[in-house]
């Protein structure tokens, strides 16, 4: 089962992101119900490992916190593949991400090894489709977009099913953060 651990985006933030997405000149927008911040991408895992991970994630204790945002950006260099909302540095977020990765490793799962760059993906771009110049212009005009902060009260273990129209996510378990 393809899975990841992430933080769902609150409705107020999803609405603000929707307004930014409506201005994007190109790209396939991420549907509002799929907006999230990935803490750990787990790839395909047997259910037994995800069950073991579930018990380890239940044991994580962390207080709720706020996510702030630092404008918009892209991944992919000269041929951007993704437009995202950049998350401002946060010790609480970094600590939670490290705990999630540690829990995954203890459950026998090796999460994706990329450096953690917290973000919320807004749209995916087609490489070589002439979209780079249009996105560069968009970012020049709107890259400093102000998004509301987002309270983080929980994190979630998701199943991710790939379909021709895009991924569909199913919440497998939710883990509340407690003060």
Catalytic pick among 36, 54, 142, 163: 36
Contact 3, 45 (CB under 8 A): yes
The strand pairing partners of 43, in sequence order, are 3
Of 117, 119, 142, 163, catalytic:
119
Q: Is 117 a catalytic residue?
A: no
Residue in 89, 159, 162 with CA at minimum distance from that of residue 174: 159
Check if 119 is active-site: yes
Which residues are part of the catalytic machinery? 36, 119
């Amino acid at each position: 089962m393809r899975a990841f651990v992430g933080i769902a985006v609150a409705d107020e933030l999803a609405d603000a992101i929707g307004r930014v997405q409506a201005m994007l000149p190109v790209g396939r927008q991420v549907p509002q119900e799929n907006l999230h911040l990935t803490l750990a991408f787990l790839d395909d895992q047997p259910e037994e490992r995800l069950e073991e991970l579930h018990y380890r994630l239940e044991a994580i204790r962390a207080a709720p916190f706020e996510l702030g945002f630092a404008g918009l950006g892209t991944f992919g260099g000269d041929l951007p593949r993704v437009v995202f909302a950049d998350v401002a540095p946060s010790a609480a977020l970094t600590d939670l991400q490290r705990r999630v990765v540690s829990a995954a490793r203890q459950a026998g799962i090796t999460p994706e090894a990329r450096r953690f760059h917290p973000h919320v993906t807004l749209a995916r771009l087609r490489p070589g489709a002439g979209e780079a110049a249009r996105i560069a212009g968009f970012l020049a005009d709107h890259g400093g977009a102000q998004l509301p902060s987002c309270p983080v009260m929980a994190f979630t273990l998701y199943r991710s099913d790939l379909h021709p129209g895009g991924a569909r996510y199913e919440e497998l378990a939710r883990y509340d953060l407690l003060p």
